[in-house]
Amino acid sequence: MNLTFIYVSHKLTSFENEWINTYHLRIKNYAKLNVVRIKDDKRLSYDPKKHMLPNTRLVLMDQKGKTKTTDQFKDWLEKQRDNNTSIVFFIGGSYGIPDSMKDTSHELLSLSAMTLPHRMAFLLLSEQVYRALSMMHGHPYHHE
């Protein structure tokens, strides 16, 4: 499975890097992972499709997106894996995600109905992807 996280942000602090990299190292046990940081800019004009292989889904992380339970997210991720689909998760910066990008995405997904700092959203998404992958592989990280 190929996963790409594209996030818009200024440079992460060492503390943020440490937490996020903990999950990225764990994810790499189950999937190929690519991480791309884009500098936060009000005039964001970025085409995530340059990081997309054939059969790739572009998933934008947006508070207005669809919410999923952990089990629903795991099932969704498992379906993507079974269909040999690569996934690009895009996390917007402090100015959000441009409408033009929303029009070309395959899916809008929300981590919360609340507004989250984009760096925290990146951490939460990383953890949830790891959690789903560990559940798919029978690892005891997740507890009911």
CATH number at residue 108: 3.40.1280.10
Structural domain tally of the chain?
1
- Position with higher pLDDT, 31 vs 115: 31
Decide if 57 is inside a domain. Answer: yes
Residue 73, pLDDT > 70, answer yes
* % of the chain with per-residue pLDDT over 90: 59
B/e letters for 86-116, b = 16+ CB within 10 Å, e = fewer, are: bbbbbbbbeebbeeebbeebeeebbbeeeeb
Decide if 143 is inside a domain. Answer: no
Decide if 70 is inside a domain. Answer: yes
Q: pLDDT per residue over 27-59, tens digit each?
A: 999 999 999 988 877 666 667 777 677 889 999
Q: Which of 10-24, 90-104, 112-126 has the lowest mean pLDDT?
A: 90-104
> Do 90 and 60 meet the contact criterion of CB atoms below 8 Å apart?
yes
Containing structural domain, residue 22: 2-136
